[in-house]
Structure 1
C-alpha cells in the first residue's frame, strides 16, 4: 500500500518535472521524445529501487529521489519569476506587434464627399489568446524555460552533492553535558555514548558499522546506548553487517531499545542476534548502574510501533517500584515517548528517530509529531536528548542535519547542594 501511494505521489511529481524540464524547454520532435523517455525511465528506476530494495537499484533510485524532490521544490519556487518573465515577454511581443501594425497602415487619402452608413461596433478582445502569439514570443519563452531549468538543475546538483557528502562522511562527535538534580556527586562525569538510526540496509553495510564502533571506542565511554532503528532488513540479510557491534568497548556495556524499523525487519531474531553480539536489549526493563558506591537507574522501553505487534512500550513495568532517590535515564526511540516518561519521573530520556529532519525543509514538519527535533530540550519537566542519528533512510542525503554520535556526560548540580 505504501509503495502504491508513493508511486502515485511521485508520478504526479515526475509529470510536473516533465512539464518544466522537458515540455517547456523543447519543441515537438526528437529532443522532447528523448527527454520524455528519460523522465519515465527515472520514475521506473525509483519505484524499482524502493520495491526491490536491492543495492544496485537502490543507490541510483534513492539518489534520484533526492534530486527529484529538490528539483520539484526549486521549480516550484521559480514559478513566480517564470510568470513575471513570461508576462514581460508577452508585453514586449505585443508592443512590437502593435508598432509593426501601425507602421504598415497606409494614411487615409481624401477623395471628396462620400456617403456614409451607420457602423456597428464589433466587440474587441480584451485578453490575449493563450500561449505565445508570435515567433519572437515563443523564442523568448523557450529561452526563459531553458534558463530556469538550468538554474534549478545546477542548484539541485549542488544541494544533493553536498547532502551526499554529509550523509556518507564521518558523523560528528558531540559532547553534551546534562545536569541531573538527583545525581550523586560520585557519578558526576559519567559518559554515555548515544547512537541511533544506524539503518543498516542495501546502502549501508559492515563498513558503516565498523566506523561507528571505532569512533565510539575512541571516546572511552562508560556505557553505550543504541536507541533504535539499527536495521532495514532481516538477520539473514544483515547479520554480517551488524557483526562489528561485538567489538564495542565500554565500562558497563552496550544496551539497545527497539525502533520502529526493527518491527518491520523481524524484531525477535534481531533481539536474539544483538544479545549474542553483547548488545543487551532492554525490553520494558530497568537495571541499576553503579560506580564508586553510587547508582542511577538505566531503563529502556519498546518503541510505540511495537503496539501493532503486541510488543508496545510498558512504562509501568520498566519504571514502577524503583528507588526514586536515584535518577533514571531512559532509552526510548521516539522523543514523543517523553510525555509518558515524565509521568513516571524520568530525569533524562535518550532518543533518536527524527534524523534531525535529514533533508531540509522536512525539519519544519518534525514538530507536528515529535516534541524535540534535535538536541537537548525539556518536555513536561523531563530532559530529552534527541540524536540526529548516524545513518539515513531513503536517499543517502543529509541537508541541514549532519549525522552524529553523542557523548552525554552526566553532571551533579554542585551549585544546588
Structure 2
C-alpha cells in the first residue's frame, strides 16, 4: 500500500513539474527575446509556486506549527487553483495558436503593396511582347518572421495569464465575501400542520483553518443569524486543524441563535483534526452534537450520524442507534455529512437528509469528479420516499477559491402536505 501511495505521489509530482516547465516555455521563454530580468522573474514564479503548494499541503497534513501553516497557506493553496486554470488556459491557447498565426500572417500580407513600375528612360529598348517575355517564377516563401512569432507568443501568453488571473481572482473574491443565502422549500408527508414553514439553516464545509479564520467564521454566523431560523444544522467539515490552533477561530459560533438551537455532526475533516476534541469544543460553544443520536422536537425528530471517516477510529455512522427505536409515525430529518449516506437513510425511512461534503465541485470542472463520487452534487433530489438536500458549503478546502460552485447557506423551509 505504501509503495502504491509513493508511486501516485511521484506521478503527481512529475506531472506538476511537466506542467510548470511547459508554462515556463510558453509564458516566459517564448515571450522574451533572450536571457534577462523578465526570464529570471518568470522562472522564479513558476518554480516557487508549486514548491509552496506542496509545502502547504505537507505542513497541514503533518501538523506543522500553525504560524508556518498560515505563512504557507495563502500562496501555496492559491497556487493549486492557479495550476488548474493555468493548465486549462494553456490547452486552450495551444488550440487557438495556429489560428492566431494565420490571422497575423494574412494581416501582414494585406499591408504589403505592390511596388510601382519604374519609369522607362528615353532611348531604351522597347519592352518585349507578352509572347517574348521570359517566364516569371514564383518567389520562394519568406522565412518565418521572428518578430511575428514573438507577437503571437505574447498575444496568446498574455491571454492565458489574464484568463488564469481573472478566474482565480474572481473565484477567491467570491469565497472571501462570504456565502450567499439560498432558500428551498421541502414538503414532507408526515410533517404536521403545526410545523408548516419551519426553517432550518443548513451550513456545511466552513473549513476554518490556516486560510479562513475567525473573521470568516463571524461572517458565516452573522449571515445565519440574519435569517432568523428556527433551527441551525452544521453538517460537518467545520475545521481543518486542532482545537489548540483553531479554537479562537471557531469562537464566533457561540453567537449562533435559533429558537430550537444549533446542532452539529462530524465530517471527514473532523477526523483529520481530532474529532473527539472538536465535539467537546462545539458543545462548549453551545451547539448540540448528534453522535449517532436523535432528539425529539415538538413536530418532528432530528437525528444525526457520524461521518464515514469515523469508521477508522471505531466511531463510524450507526443508523440503528440513531433511528432504530423511533416513533415511525413522526417525520424525521437526518444530518449526515456525506450524500453517500442516503442509501442507509432510505432503508431507515428518513424523510429528509441534509448533507454537504461535495462543495458543488468547488473548482470547475471538479463538479464532474464530484458527480462520479456522489449520488447528488448539490441541491434537492429524491431517492424513493426520502429526499436529499446537499449544500455546496460555506467555505472552501485547499484554495480559498470557487469557480462555478458559489458558496451558500441554505434555509430549508419544511412544508406540511396537510397545510
TM (norm. structure 1) is 0.83
Query: How many Å apart are 1:92 and its aligned residue?
Result: 11
Structure 1 distance, partners of 2:168, 2:13, is 22
Aligned pair partner of 1:229 in 225, 237, 252: 237
Structure 1 distance, partners of 2:29, 2:383, is 50
Name the structure 2 match of 1:82: 97
1:300-346 Cα deviation digits (max 9, x unpaired):
11111112222111112211121111111000001111122111101
Aligned pair partner of 1:59 in 65, 71, 74: 74
Q: Secondary structure at the match of 2:329?
A: coil
Query: How many Å apart are 1:67 and its aligned residue?
Result: 1.9
Structure 1 distance, partners of 2:229, 2:74, is 34
Structure 2 distance, partners of 1:19, 1:306, is 46
Quickly say closer, same or farther: Cα 1:342–1:73, change in 2 above 3 A. Answer: same
Structure 1 distance, partners of 2:103, 2:41, is 31
Name the structure 1 match of 2:44: 37
TM (norm. structure 2) is 0.83
Name the structure 2 match of 1:413: 417
Query: How many Å apart are 1:85 and its aligned residue?
Result: 4.4
Q: Secondary structure at the match of 2:411?
A: strand
Structure 2 distance, partners of 1:215, 1:32, is 46
Counterpart contact for 1:7–1:47, Cα < 8 Å: no
Aligned-pair Cα RMSD in Å: 2.3
Structure 2 distance, partners of 1:325, 1:32, is 71
Name the structure 1 match of 2:343: 339
Name the structure 1 match of 2:163: 155
Counterpart contact for 2:97–2:156, Cα < 8 Å: yes
Query: How many Å apart are 1:89 and its aligned residue?
Result: 8.0
Counterpart contact for 1:371–1:379, Cα < 8 Å: no
Structure 1 distance, partners of 2:226, 2:377, is 27
Name the structure 2 match of 1:173: 181
Quickly say closer, same or farther: Cα 1:171–1:42, change in 2 above 3 A. Answer: same
Counterpart contact for 1:89–1:141, Cα < 8 Å: no
Counterpart contact for 1:22–1:32, Cα < 8 Å: yes
After the TM superposition, which residues 285-296 of structure 1 pair with which residues of structure 2 at under 5 Å, given as runs? 285-290=293-298, 295-296=299-300
Name the structure 1 match of 2:29: 23
Query: How many Å apart are 1:36 and its aligned residue?
Result: 2.2
Name the structure 2 match of 1:110: none
Query: How many Å apart are 1:193 and its aligned residue?
Result: 0.9
Structure 2 distance, partners of 1:182, 1:155, is 50
Counterpart contact for 2:178–2:216, Cα < 8 Å: no
More off after superposition, 48-57 vs 72-81? 48-57
Q: Secondary structure at the match of 1:368?
A: helix
Structure 2 distance, partners of 1:16, 1:382, is 49
Name the structure 1 match of 2:389: 385
Aligned pair partner of 2:317 in 304, 313, 316: 313
After the TM superposition, which residues 279-290 of structure 1 pair with which residues of structure 2 at under 5 Å, given as runs? 279-290=287-298
Counterpart contact for 2:49–2:75, Cα < 8 Å: no
Aligned pair partner of 1:182 in 185, 190, 202: 190
Name the structure 2 match of 1:68: 83
Q: Secondary structure at the match of 1:136?
A: coil
Quickly say closer, same or farther: Cα 1:206–1:26, change in 2 above 3 A. Answer: same
1:167-213 Cα deviation digits (max 9, x unpaired):
11131111211100111111111111110001000111111112222
Unaligned 5+ runs, structure 2? 61-68, 109-140
Structure 2 distance, partners of 1:6, 1:169, is 32
1:150-172 Cα deviation digits (max 9, x unpaired):
01111122211211111111311
Query: How many Å apart are 1:216 and its aligned residue?
Result: 1.6
Name the structure 1 match of 2:330: 326
More off after superposition, 278-287 vs 80-89? 80-89
Q: State whether structure 2 residue 403 is matched by structure 1 residue 395.
A: no
Query: How many Å apart are 1:56 and its aligned residue?
Result: 2.3
Structure 1 distance, partners of 2:143, 2:169, is 38
Query: How many Å apart are 1:4 and its aligned residue?
Result: 6.0
Unaligned 5+ runs, structure 1? 94-132
After the TM superposition, which residues 93-172 of structure 1 pair with which residues of structure 2 at under 5 Å, given as runs? 136-172=144-180
Aligned pair partner of 1:370 in 374, 381, 387: 374
Quickly say closer, same or farther: Cα 1:135–1:265, change in 2 above 3 A. Answer: farther
1:276-299 Cα deviation digits (max 9, x unpaired):
111111111112111xxxx31111
Quickly say closer, same or farther: Cα 1:312–1:136, change in 2 above 3 A. Answer: same
Counterpart contact for 1:351–1:384, Cα < 8 Å: yes
Query: How many Å apart are 1:381 and its aligned residue?
Result: 3.4
Name the structure 2 match of 1:10: 16
